[in-house]
A and B are shown apart, each in its own frame.
Chain A
């Protein structure tokens, strides 16, 4: 099955700093999503991004499908950005989603 590797596993930032999180896939995926899990366990979908670049406020993501990786950029980080960032990928079958396979996550701590 598809393997998902995320790096770095842990990241500590000073408030206001920028960061880049990376996600590598062992095989091609045509369903790729990024999530943020807050310290209380709630998972929020950040991006559905099988290819190309998207931006949402201080967050942006780029997926290079031909090279099987995706990047999540966080600019001007804030303490509320702390938590765990997961990427997940999987196939589409005839218009329906298959399983999303999750990476182990990047744990981000933003210090004031």
Chain B
């Protein structure tokens, strides 16, 4: 079955550490996205990529970095510069055909600073 896999489901970070969240898709989608969700809030865009080796900042990119070396993979690094990283992180992808425009989301990673 095609889909998006995010790992790990739960992640604990110590102060000053960088951590990397994994996102892999086998839907052959060109575009991939990272969103952050805080309790009781909507989703806010961190970074997105429309094509391999290219990505753009979203609304809250400060303290985060990404890479897109393969079509299937779009990892997100939460750096020590991110002051309040505790949140639920969601990865999504979408295709370039009209029948495939709808976003498909992974099951998310819950990051907690300890």
Q: Chain A residues in contact with chain B, CB under 8 A?
A: 1, 4, 31, 33, 35, 40-45, 47-48, 86, 88, 95-97, 99-105
Contacts and interface: CB of A to CB of B under 8 A. Distances in A.
Interface in B59-110: 59, 88, 90, 92, 94, 96, 101-105, 107-108, 110
Contacts of B107: 40-42
Given A33-B102, A45-B102, A45-B104, A97 B94 contact: yes
B42 interface: yes
B16 to A, nearest CB: 27
Interface of B: 30-31, 33, 35, 41-45, 48, 50, 58-59, 88, 90, 92, 94, 96, 101-105, 107-108, 110
What are the nearest 8 A-B pairs in CB distance?
A43-B105, A102-B42, A45-B102, A48-B102, A102-B43, A104-B42, A41-B108, A48-B101
Given A31-B101, A48-B102, A86 B90 contact: no
B10 to A, nearest CB: 11
A31 to B, nearest CB: 7
Given A41-B90, A42-B108, A99-B59, 17 more contacts: A4-B42, A31-B101, A33-B102, A42-B105, A43-B90, A43-B92, A43-B105, A45-B104, A48-B102, A88-B103, A95-B96, A96-B30, A97-B94, A99-B48, A99-B58, A102-B42, A105-B42
Contacts of B58: 99
8 contacts: A1-B59, A33-B102, A42-B108, A43-B92, A43-B103, A48-B102, A97-B50, A99-B45
